[in-house]
Structure 1
Amino acid sequence: MSERLDQNSLYFLPLGGVNEIGMNLNLYGFGDRWLMVDLGTSFADEGMPGVDLVLPDVTWIAGRRERLLGVVLTHAHEDHLGAISHVWEELRCPVWATGFAASVLRKKLEEKGLADEVPVHVYKPGEIIELGPFKIRSMNITHSTPESQALAIETPAGVVLHTGDWKLDPRPVLGPQTEVETLRGYGDRGVLALVCDSTNVFNRGHSGSEGDVRDSLMQVLANKPGRIAVTTFSSNLARLESLFSVAAHLGRHICLIGRSLHRFIQAARENGYLEHIPNLVDEREAGFLPREKIMYVCTGCQGEPRGAMARIAFNSHPHVVLSPGDTVAFSSKIIPGNERTLFRLHNELVRNGIEVITEKDAFIHVSGHPSRDELAEMYRLARPQIAVPVHGEPRHLVEHARFAQSLQVPHGIVPRNGDLIRLAPGAPDVVEQVPSGRLAIDGDELVPVQGGALQVRRKLAFNGAASVSLVVDGEGRLQTRPHVKLSGVVNGDAELIGAEIAAEIAAAVDRLKPGAHRDDGNLEQAAHRALRSVLKGLTGRKPITQVHVIRMPD
């Protein structure tokens, strides 16, 4: 398909990160060359049993990898870099990242045995990267992890500003403020398109400052009588810095719970952040301290079943126990789709006499994404000809495009994953739909979200399974009553229902024509039909069914 593209046109192609939040993968095409910006993962939902993470299907661009110049990362969040270690073998292209993001990425590559294979180039904020027809200038922009960068992508067809994740924070705890004057300078020279974060487009006003959260955490967590556990995103180093400061002020020791926290803190220290963590204790020793002298900082702020917070709440953590009178603070936003999982976790904690504080109860979190006032300011600075909303569900993208046009942006286009959008020349337009999709990380394998083992698991979860064993002689005559096993199929007396099914199957086998019994396929088909007929009449369900024929020698 790429061979038919206009060599003088500039294209934008998202393969992940639109019509959803997370799993970002953005491609820019010009002159038969492609630039990738970000390559991340997202959380699995309840429809993917046994799976924690999903990532975009890179098959389309992998088929053109000789034309892929590289991947430029905007920042260190999992939904922007987490997929690289899983799909690099298919792409085999160089990666550019800031120092902190490069440290985080290298640790993930080490886990996959790829640390010596993937060429990771470190770029500094403000540095220019030249790749084929693309001249990429990075600039500091505030977000909830250090060294977040917006990218000005200069091409012969015009300049695209790719914001990545961002906000306008007047009091960032770590790192510089957003380079407002640099953005204004690009607006003065002319911006073709603004590819921009849509997460909080419905939120009025300003997203708030990380510095103000630190002040509030100090007040909210003061005078708590028992243990304090706080869960937040491991990559939010500014929040971690605030929590360390709060703990020191309250005379509490810090105990880190969760492997990713240790990984991010190591990456932070490699780049000059979080060099002094006060009163840090090992999780195996923290339980010996007085309850009022400990603050746990935990992973699992989205209720992930394997996250530290869920394991603590459901009493499966080997070293950490919370008691009535203790406090758990969720210093994070609930990512859409995770509500049920998190509320189940909150309820379990409350049932155990533990106080739960969320962003709905107190000012203990600010988003790393822009609210409407910040979006309006970005459009005043950049003054693009085209608004391209990304990083949002369909309702976010549509509202963002509408909002941008209310700010006198001439064109707004709402993309879908797989939409090949011509940005220039002429008015923006979707010229083709390319294959896109999602892959699940299932153990050590990447599998399609639709079909295969996941489809079987979903069917098992919703409909259950039923199996039948037929013991027959050489002529195919039943030697015993069919043995029926039901798993998650019926709510009544399974033994009684199994006996009813066995009788129907025996009758169906007896009705086979003379000679048909000698064929195992005929026996299996008759048993399947009878089994499904009875279960559909009793439950309305269509479980997964299996029939085993055991033929005894004469």
Structure 2
Amino acid sequence: MNMYLYGHDGHWLMVDCGVTFADDSVPGVDLILPDPAFIERRRDDLVGMVITHAHEDHVGAITHLWPDLRCPIYATPFTAAVLRIKLRETDYADQVKIIEVPLGGDVQIGPFGVGFITMTHSVPEPSALVIRTKHGNIVHTGDWKLDPAPQVGASYDEAKLRRLGEEGVVAVMGDSTNALTPGRSASEEEVREGLAAVIAAQKNRVVVTCFSSNVARIHSVVLAAQKAGRHCALVGRSLWKIMEAAQSTGYMTKLPEPFIREDQFGYIPRDKIVLICTGSQGEPRSALSRIASDSHPHITLEAGDTVIFSAREIPGNEKAIGRVQNALVAQGVTLLTPDDAMVHCSGHPARDELTTLYQWLKPKIVVPVHGEERHMQAHAALAREGQVSETLVPHNGALIRLAPGPAEIVDNVEHGRLALDGHHLVPLDGEAIRDRQRIIHNGAAVITLVLDRDGRLAADPKVALLGIEDAEDLAESEAEVAEEVRGAIQNLPRAQRNDDSAISETARVTVRRTIRSWHGKKPVTEVHLIRL
């Protein structure tokens, strides 16, 4: 969920605008976004947004937040193509100004000179940025690795990185994801060879699930399928969208044959097909989840088929992935994961790659970002071991002075998280989400009271208990709670019976106390009071 702001000369430049995916702790919410309130109030000073690459945690919030920002967006051709496809689902696509920057290109955005540096990652056209100011050069790495054979797209621009180091770099804002991992990340070329070997060894249907944006991985599966004498199918809307973006920008244009559609699945013999599916992270509505639950309209698997997880689990997704994998195993499907074969490699730099980058760039300051606390602290320690004179581990909302002078957190700005709740954005820590979480754990109760002008009950209290009792006990329990409420109200002093707030609070406390004595729960309680 990346969103960074660089301030200089009275203006701001945004880098990336991404989402993260909600887990079971936030019921009813699919996406979580950064709260841009700080920059919304300074929108007139926001000169542009630069996107480093087309992953959802860097680009996914644009369709939700751009109407509040309304700034031009700068991206390389593939990233721009993905963004245009996403914007087609909005009613303001024609209002968004997208400026395509060629790979390795430069652009002036207000007082910021921004240079794109071609890197390698698990998506085409990832770029590090050099942000040039009168106080020096800042490098924002984005997500990257040093892959000499990325299979799709250009390799990293070592010469440009070395030249930048000779020119001088004040600070690097750097990817920390694999800062605890020794050595180097494997190459996509090794994964291509591993997938070819694994797919060739299978006798029945093969399903490969990976991130839809990993065009090189999809290409490797296509070639492995061709080598094994199999046809290849795409299953999942996001995969078709990525293919559209890739082919419109010159990638994946020379396929052995067109992809099979999912509705053609049943006509292909079991030993002649490879399916590429979304759902490597156990997403409930993904193609693989529906296949695992036997609810997909076109695709079913049988005992002896194989599913290859060509992706590592993102922390927090373990339960969802486990549910899908258990459902597949229950059908007799064979699972292969990166623990079993060379079917995946990370898109992020391990420790030796970080060291190499700092040897090239020679920065004065390193600010680890994009990782959990333990990753960022390890990244900072590694930079210090490599003779970087200053490191600073930030937190969300930190306002950091990079230059002139030493790096320092000088302030903390308003920040937070927004939840996409249906079609609306609400604060993640707001009342609506908190109440929903409480209801899940404690249930809910609704009481309706009808009183006359003198504060006497004009009808029996009505109580509805939700998520507290099973059906066979519900009516009896509701009647007992209603009787407790009746007694509490009748025992109120006469003066309080004319006070609606006092009556409502008495009813609310009575219900919660009664339910707590029965079940140890404190339900979310709502009182409806009607005066005749």
Task: Give TM-score scaled by structure 2 length.
Answer: 0.95
Q: Which of 285, 293, 318 lines up with 1:306 in the alignment?
A: 285
Mean CA deviation greater in 148-157 or 233-242: 148-157
Report Cα offsets for 1:509-546 as digits up to 9, x if no partner: 33233475566555433321211111122233221112
For 1:337 and 1:404, how far apart are their aligned partners in 2? 28
Cα shift at 1:24: 0.9
For 1:470 and 1:336, how far apart are their aligned partners in 2? 48
Cα shift at 1:547: 2.9
Matched, 1:197 2:175: yes
For 2:249 and 2:235, how far apart are their aligned partners in 1? 22
Mean CA deviation greater in 465-474 or 319-328: 465-474
Matched, 1:251 2:251: no
For 2:450 and 2:10, how far apart are their aligned partners in 1? 64
For 1:475 and 1:282, how far apart are their aligned partners in 2? 71
Cα shift at 1:276: 3.2
Q: Which of 332, 338, 342 lines up with 1:353 in the alignment?
A: 332
The residue number in structure 1 matching 2:508 is 528
The residue number in structure 1 matching 2:30 is 52
Gaps of 5+ in 1: 1-22
Cα shift at 1:242: 0.4
In structure 2, what residue type is equivalent to 1:341?
Answer: A
The residue number in structure 2 matching 1:87 is 65
Structure 1 pair 68–490 and aligned structure 2 pair: CA distance change class (3 A): same
Contact persistence 2:513–2:522 (CA under 8 A): no
Report Cα offsets for 1:412-453 as digits up to 9, x if no partner: 000111111111111110111000111112222211111142
Q: Which of 269, 275, 278 lines up with 1:290 in the alignment?
A: 269
Matched, 1:344 2:323: yes
Mean CA deviation greater in 25-34 or 384-393: 25-34
Q: Which of 211, 214, 221 lines up with 2:189 in the alignment?
A: 211
Mean CA deviation greater in 37-46 or 376-385: 37-46
Q: Secondary structure at the match of 1:176?
A: coil
Q: How many residues align?
A: 530
Cα shift at 1:398: 1.1
Contact persistence 1:138–1:152 (CA under 8 A): yes
The residue number in structure 1 matching 2:356 is 377
Q: Which of 377, 381, 390 lines up with 1:402 in the alignment?
A: 381
Report Cα offsets for 1:383-427 as digits up to 9, x if no partner: 100011111111111111111001110000001111111111111
In structure 2, what residue type is equivalent to 1:338?
Answer: N
Contact persistence 1:490–1:539 (CA under 8 A): no
Q: Which of 123, 131, 134 lines up with 2:101 in the alignment?
A: 123
Cα shift at 1:471: 5.6
Contact persistence 1:171–1:212 (CA under 8 A): no
Matched, 1:43 2:21: yes
Q: Secondary structure at the match of 2:267?
A: coil
The residue number in structure 2 matching 1:320 is 299
For 1:38 and 1:302, how far apart are their aligned partners in 2? 22
Structure 1 pair 474–29 and aligned structure 2 pair: CA distance change class (3 A): closer
Matched, 1:460 2:442: no
Q: Secondary structure at the match of 1:113?
A: coil
Contact persistence 1:99–1:122 (CA under 8 A): yes
Q: Secondary structure at the match of 1:506?
A: helix
Contact persistence 2:232–2:273 (CA under 8 A): yes
Percent identity among equivalent residues? Answer: 47
Gaps of 5+ in 2: none
For 2:451 and 2:294, how far apart are their aligned partners in 1? 49
Structure 1 pair 519–119 and aligned structure 2 pair: CA distance change class (3 A): same
Q: Secondary structure at the match of 1:349?
A: helix
Q: Secondary structure at the match of 1:309?
A: helix
Cα shift at 1:474: 7.0
Matched, 1:108 2:86: yes
Q: Secondary structure at the match of 2:116?
A: strand
